[in-house]
Amino acid sequence: MTDTTSENVNQTYLTLRLAMVLLVGLLFLSVIVQYFASAPDCLQHSISAYYFTPARAVFVGALCAIGACLIVYRGSTDTENVLLDYSGFMAFVVAFVPTTVDNTCAVSNVPTAEELTDAVSNNVLTLLVVGFGAALLAMVVRWLRKNPDRPLSKYARISVAVTLTALAAGTVFFLFWGDTFERIGHAVSAIALFAGIIGVVMVNAVGFAKKQGDTAAAKVATNRYSLVAFAMGLSLVGCLVSKWLGFGHWLFVLEALLIAEFAVFWMLQTTELRGKVSRAA
């Protein structure tokens, strides 16, 4: 690879990483603008509820763009890459299957039940077909470029198996229990999305420790990425406790914290890589 080509690749990866942060900012800014546009100022009980406000286009567009970026981006390890692909796919499901209407604030452009069912059926069916096609294409490409010196790691194989199983299970659920899928699909896919993201952060905690030569458990537990993962776990526990105490906006706060913490992780990793394609580059 020539120096010019290498520089172009590195710049493309850096731009892709920066785009992710800007997309998160776009989503947050749209919610903030809608909050101040409400009369009186009103906060929905979740970020997802802004699907039924004038912020819908940004909500759906930002999630789809983030999902595409996660899928396109090549992680530093096979395990990280599979988790990124998995999380990216789930971001599309979160965008295409809306949550229930939150009547706390004024809503707009709320589709009828029939319109919503038609939209979910069209969008999710299309996504599943493309998802299976992409998985098949990825396996064919890997087979054509078979490299016996670089097989998938054990954890990567487990991640692939879990991802394909989840895709197959989701397809069966959608085809045979469509009404239930429409009702709980958003919540399940959102949980799966954040679980994948937390997995990415934890994989990076281990990878960063190995890069520094600190493989001891204590070192892994205290590096920058482990702290982000710990903050995510603490946010989850704290918000669940606040729900138990009767705080109505616990889900909004949890979503906002996890998204913000993911953005922090992404910026930390961008700083670490300094324009390189991967940690090993």
Q: What is the 3-state secondary structure (H, E, C) of the chain?
A: CCHHHHHHHHHHHHHHHHHHHHHHHHHHHHHHHHHHHCCCCCCCCCHHHHHHCCCHHHHHHHHHHHHHHHHHCCCCCHHHHHHHHHHHHHHHHHHHCCCCCCCCCCCCCCCCHHHHHHHHHHHHHHHHHHHHHHHHHHHHHHHHCCCCCCCCCHHHHHHHHHHHHHHHHHHHHHHHCHHHHHHHHHHHHHHHHHHHHHHHHHHHHHHHHHHHCCCCHHHHHHCHHHHHHHHHHHHHHHHHHHHHCCCCCHHHHHHHHHHHHHHHHHHHHHHHHCCCCCCCC
pTM: 0.89
Percent of the chain with pLDDT over 70: 88
279: pLDDT strictly greater than 70: no
184: pLDDT strictly greater than 60: yes
1: pLDDT strictly greater than 70: no
pLDDT at 163: 77
Selected residue with higher pLDDT from 185 and 164: 185
Q: What is the residue extent of each domain of the chain?
A: 3-273
Selected residue with higher pLDDT from 155 and 272: 272
Distance CA 71, CA 65 (A): 10
Percent of the chain with pLDDT over 90: 53
User: pLDDT of 6-36, one tens digit each?
Assistant: 788 888 888 889 999 999 999 999 999 998 8
User: pLDDT of 102-161, one tens digit each?
Assistant: 887 877 778 888 999 999 999 999 999 998 888 888 777 777 766 655 666 676 777 778
Band of residue 256 on the pLDDT scale cut at 50, 70, 90: very high
User: pLDDT of 69-103, one tens digit each?
Assistant: 999 998 888 889 889 999 999 999 999 999 988 88
164: pLDDT strictly greater than 60: yes
pLDDT at 160: 76
